[in-house]
Amino acid sequence: MSDGIRLELLAAAEVTALRTEVLERLGARAAAVTAALDRAPAGWTLHGRAAEPVPFGGGTLLIAGGPAASTLDRFDADLRMLQAADVAAFCRLADALPQVSVVAPPCFTPPGVVAPGEGSDGGGRPAASACAAATGSPAAATGPLRTAGGSLPAAATALAATGKHLLLSARGVVEAQAIVDMALAVAGGRDALRERPPLSMWVWPGDKTADMVRLAAEAGVPAFLPVVPTGGGRTALIEALSAGLKTTAGAQNVAPGAPVALSLLADRDGPLDVAGFAAAAAACQLAHSFGLPLAATTLSCSAATPDWLASAENTTAALTAWLAGADGLAGAGLLRGGSVTSLVQLALDAEIASYVAATVAGVRVDDESLAVDVIEKVGIGGNYLGEKHTRRTMRHVWRPRFFDRVPCEQWIREGRRQSAELAAEFVERTLADHHVPPLAPALVAELERIVRRAAAS
Amino acid sequence: MFANTSKHFQTVTTVGEEPARYLIEMAAAVAGGARELRERLLVSFVECTAGPLSHDTPNLEAALVAAEHGVPAGFLPLPLAAATAPATLAGTLVVTLAEALSGIVLLRLARPGVSCFIATAPSVIDLTSGGYTGGGPEDYVLAAAATQLAHSYGLPIAMGTMATGAKEPGWQAAVDDSLSTLAGVMSWADLMNGCGLLGGSRTLSYPHMVMETEVFGIVKKMAAGVVDDDTLALDAIAEVGPDGTYLGHKHTRRHAAAIRRPGIWDRTPHEVWQREGSRGAYEPAREIADGILADHRPEPLSDDVAAALRALVDRADRESVDA
């Protein structure tokens, strides 16, 4: 049988060398940190209010979305800021796509609310420029930091639009507490939350990171902790990873066994190039060497539209992450470095994920698949089409949704249709037909109360 | 070919003994003689098999001519799982290797020790049309597995890659090309065939060739590895210390040149990209291709070699008419 294909970009000796460097970075705290990390789980189960539970850790989950604040909803449309209806559509499409396991809703500014300007506020929300400087990520500067209330206004919309597990962004302690309160409300109590968490918290980098992670850990909400190699390269990766390990260890000291994953944020203002792909693969190996799961946010391609560049970047990113064993792959449906959402891009990224997952499944080798008897029977110059073995096994052949495979003359006759067009039609059909079980009115009211309370803080 | 490139080229497929002998004569003329050709291998032969499990006689004859003159020859099975091979990947690999190795055994029986290689571009039937897909996860897994198997036999492999089924250099082409290139590089294929082809290898596109070389450059850089004493940069890290910057450091200046610069990828801010016409990757690739075709001049053949080649072609035309 095949266990699938795995890629180890770093040889064992290289992992050891980088681990040593990370531990040296931790200095006198290295022993305490590694002891605390021994209590951290390597995986857990993610639940949704109306979806099958999915195991996180040991396989690659596709995460749709992220804290973008703009949208491009058709192939050649101009950019505009996201609105509630856009967030709902994005989440509902993600709900319908079987390849998507987790939804990270994008953000919008509620009507009548002014987006924040410069300066930090008492809620622990860092200024856009400071966060952008810290992370180097365009999404940091244009995502929830440009929206009043961050991801919270979108949370209620998202919960209504998808039954899958949600990943909500917290920029500060106030938002982190609100996410914990939402998780409690959706799960139905503290014990239920610990056993079946319906939400995870995506902690934004800043001076309150450790506080936010501790809040999540105490409540049993899984946290995704940012690892942001600012400036790129191995040095940056080591520094970022050591900071992440310290924070994770802190969470374990507060709540042993708290589910904390590392989340590699791509640091770039251009295409995710060699350094980014290699960093994601290396980061996976290093995180796993410390017993921690890692989600790579490497699908947020730099392209402006769902075109050749988007495809080349995301296919390479996806295959690298899958081969390296990343536990999550985030950013499906995002363009321009994660700052723009696109429904077409989401559908196409799901296709890429399906393609890659089929590729890394490897070759099953057993008597049935070797088919020696069938080969002897068909013989020289024969045809396998009519064989029972073919009928029995051909259903495993991968089938695309948005690939063109017709003869060239037919393709020209039918209007030279591109993958993005096919995806756009699929999106429209899906949004028209897909149904998500509604939220109970009482829960909707509670979520709105939580958002108002956070906004008033 | 000889007049327009100074690089090695492979024929796919030379059919028959006579054309093979003409080709060998031409290659020898360029190399400077038959003995020189054995030392300076300007050409190699790729011969398609006739699946499942057979060879066409003219292809074998051509391969034997190559072997006779010390020119490497390889066999290219093109199994289509569910049609000319079992629907399972392992069974397809069995058929692939049987076809390729049988040809190599024949050549080595005729000419012990002759250089041979495996070439392959396995695929799976399109379940909707019954046609050739030109790209799919099965293709790349099969190709990577075939590479491992070829190496286990001590044979190099020319892997069928790129050559997407897409009709244009767009999203679909990029998915196929990225995956097939990664599969080829990460499995250490010795050669990767198919650059510049669209429509399931039926269409040649110069801009697409430029785009594929961009993808290849990225993947190849990735495979170059990440760690050695110099790249760990421990001394530089110690010197720069906390909150420092590496921009002005000697180590940075030494290694900055190794950072890959993209050829056709856009890195401009969105507003700039829109203002400059919202160009995708195809337009700059086309400009590069047009520029190369307008300006690039390969090293010319000497007058006597060019004349010898023309004479050979004339003789071949005459003799084929007479035949």
Determine the residue among A354, A403, A422 to mutate to test chain B binding: the one whose Cβ has the most chain B Cβ atoms within 10 Å.
A403
Looking at residue A151, what is its pLDDT? 79
Residues of chain A contacting residue B214, judged by C-beta atoms under 8 Å apart = 312
Token pair recorded at residue B240: 């720069």
Residues 6+ apart with CB under 8 A from A50: A163, A436, A437
Flag if A372 and B281 touch (Cβ within 8 Å): no
pLDDT at residue B173, rounded to an integer: 94
What percent of chain A stands above pLDDT 70?
86
| Interface pTM, i.e. ipTM | 0.81
Nearest-Cα distance to chain A for B82, in Å, is 5
The predicted pLDDT at position A10 comes to 77
Q: Which of A274, A355, A381 sits opposite B137 (nearest CB)?
A: A355
State the DSSP code for B171. H
Record: contact A17-B227, CB cut-off 8 A: yes
Is it the case that residue B95 has pLDDT exceeding 50? yes
pLDDT of residue A79: 84
Per-residue DSSP letters for B282-310? Answer: HHHHHHHHHHHHHH--PPPPPHHHHHHHH
CB–CB of A359 and B137 under 8 A? yes
Following CA atoms A332, A338, A342, A347 in sequence, which dihedral angle do they give, to the nearest 10 degrees? -10
Binary contact (B131, A273; C-beta < 8 A): no
The pLDDT value given to residue A121 = 39
Pairing of strands B123-124, B9-12: unpaired
Low-confidence winner among A117-121, B51-55, B96-100, B243-247 (lowest mean pLDDT): A117-121
**Best interface-test mutation with B: which of A370, A397, A413, A419 has the largest number of B CBs within 10 A?**
A397
Parallel/antiparallel/unpaired status of strands B73-76 and B116-120? parallel
- Residue reference for tokens 């198997």: B149
**Mean pLDDT to the nearest integer, B24-31:** 95
Residue A133 pLDDT exceeds 60: no
Contacting residues of A for B166, CB less than 8 Å apart: 403-404
DSSP collapsed to 3 states, chain A: CCCCCCCCCCCHHHHHHHHHHHHHHHHHHHHHHHHHHCCCCCCEEEEECCEEEEEECCCCEEEEECCCCEECCCCCCCCEECCHHHHHHHHHHHHHCCCEEEEECCCCCCCCCCCCCCCCCCCCCCCHHHHHHHHCCHHHHHCHHHCCCCCHHHHHHHHHHCCCEEEEEECCHHHHHHHHHHHHHHHCCHHHHHHCCCEEEEECCCCCHHHHHHHHHHHCCCEEEEECCCCCHHHHHHHHHHHHHHHHHHHHHHCCCCCEEEEEECCCCCCCCHHHHHHHHHHHHHHHHCCCCEEEECCCCCCCCCCHHHHHHHHHHHHHHHHHCCCEEEEECEEHHHCEECHHHHHHHHHHHHHHHHHHCCCCCCHHHHCHHHHHHHCCCCCCCCCHHHHHHHHHCCCCCCCCCCCHHHHHHCCCCCHHHHHHHHHHHHHHHCCCCCCCHHHHHHHHHHHHHHHHC
- List CB contacts of A216: < 8 A, sequence separation 6 or more: A176, A179, A180, A201, A203, A222, A223, A251, A258, A260
Of A273, A308, A404, the CB nearest to B211: A308
The Cα–Cα gap between B247 and B251 comes to 9
| pLDDT average, residue stretch B6-15 | 91
Give the Cα separation of B185 and A316 in Å (integer): 12
What's the half-sphere exposure (Cβ side, CA atoms, 13 Å) at A89?
23
Q: Whole-number mean pLDDT of chain B?
A: 88
Q: Supply the pLDDT for residue B24.
A: 96
* pLDDT of res. B45: 97
Say whether pLDDT at A211 is over 80: yes
> Measured between CA atoms, how close is A336 to chain B, in angstroms?
8
Chain B residue with Cα closest to A230: B245
Nearest to B100, CA basis, from B84, B120, B80, B121:
B120
Residue type, B98: A
Radius of gyration over every alpha carbon of chain A, rounded to an integer in angstroms: 23
CB distance B98 to B148 below 8 Å: no
B174:A393 CB<8 A: no
A304/B270 Cβ within 8 A: yes
**Inter-chain contact B266–A234, Cβ cutoff 8 Å?**
no
Nearest-CB residue to B267 (from A302, A379, A403): A302
Find the CB nearest A404 among B54, B85, B166.
B166
Query: Which residue of A lies nearest to B246 if distances are taken between CA atoms?
Result: A231
What is the number of CB-based contacts under 8 A between chain A and chain B?
Answer: 257
Q: Are the CB atoms for A2 and A364 separated by under 8 Å?
A: yes
B89: nearest CB among A312, A363, A418: A363
Least confident piece of the model among A425-434, B53-62, B82-91, B273-282: B273-282
Min Cα separation B218/chain A (Å) = 6
pLDDT at res. A138? 44
**pLDDT reading at A115 higher than 70:** no
Cβ within 8 Å, pair B91-A323: no
Check whether B261 has a pLDDT greater than 70: no
Pairing of strands A334-335, A340-341: antiparallel
Closest-CA distance, B220 to chain A, in angstroms, reads 9
Residues of A in contact with B263 (CB under 8 A): none
B52 contacts on A by Cβ (under 8 Å): 375, 378-382, 384
Check CB contact under 8 Å for A308 and B138: no
Q: Which chain A residues are Cβ-neighbours of B138 within 8 angstroms? A: 358, 397-398
Q: Do B86 and A362 touch (CB under 8 A)?
A: no
| Res A126: pLDDT | 38
Closest chain A residue to B167, measured at CA: A408
| Confidence check: pLDDT of A224 > 90 | yes
Please indicate whether residue B280 or residue A151 has the higher confidence score (pLDDT).
B280
Mean pLDDT value across residues B101-109: 97
Chain B residues close to A336, C-beta within 8 Å: 270
Of the two residues B1 and B320, the one the predictor is more confident about is B1
pLDDT value of residue A112: 62
- A441 contact partners, CB below 8 Å, separation of at least 6: none
Q: What is the pLDDT of residue A130?
A: 41
* Residues A366-401: tens digit of each pLDDT: 999 999 999 999 999 999 999 999 999 988 899 999
Instruction: Check pLDDT > 70 for residue B176.
Output: yes
Catalogue the long-range contacts made by B303-311 (C-beta closer than 8 Å, 24 or more residues apart).
B305/B29, B305/B30, B306/B3, B308/B29, B309/B2, B309/B3, B309/B26, B309/B29, B309/B30
Contact between A71 and A79 under an 8 Å Cβ cutoff? The reply is: yes
Strands B9-12, B43-48: pairing kind: parallel
Q: Report whether pLDDT(A352) > 60.
A: yes
Measured in angstroms, the CA of B228 and the nearest CA of chain A are apart by 8
Question: How much is the average pLDDT of A207-215?
Answer: 91
pLDDT value at A296 more than 60: yes
The answer to whether residue A139 scores a pLDDT higher than 60 is no
Distance from CA of B241 to the nearest CA of A (A): 11
pLDDT of B260 > 60? The answer is no
At B42 the pLDDT is 94
Lowest-confidence pick of A234-238, A362-366, A428-432, B155-159: A234-238
Give the closest-approach CA distance of A261 to chain B in angstroms. 24
Chain B nearest CA to A113, separation (Å)? 26
**Percent of chain A topping pLDDT 90:** 58
Could you read off the pLDDT of B294-318 as tens digits, one per residue?
Answer: 999 988 999 999 999 999 999 998 9
Residue A134 has a pLDDT of 42
Residue A351 has pLDDT above 70, yes or no: yes
Q: What percent of chain B has pLDDT over 70?
A: 90
pLDDT at B126: 87
Residues of A in contact with B91 (CB under 8 A): 369-372, 374-375
pLDDT at A118: 34
A155 in Cβ contact with A179 (< 8 Å):
yes
Across A130-134, A335-339, A402-406, least confident range = A130-134
Sheet containing B191-193: give its strands across.
B9-12, B43-48, B73-76, B116-120, B157-160, B191-193
**Closest Cα of chain A to B110: distance in Å?**
23
Could you read off the pLDDT of A30-58 as tens digits, one per residue? 999 999 999 999 999 999 999 999 999 98
Mark out the alpha helices in B153-205 (DSSP H runs). 171-186
Q: What is the pLDDT of residue A135?
A: 42
Q: Using one digit for the tens of pLDDT, what is the confidence trace for B200-258? A: 889 999 999 999 999 998 888 777 765 555 665 666 666 776 666 777 777 776 666 65
Average pLDDT score over residue span A304-310: 90
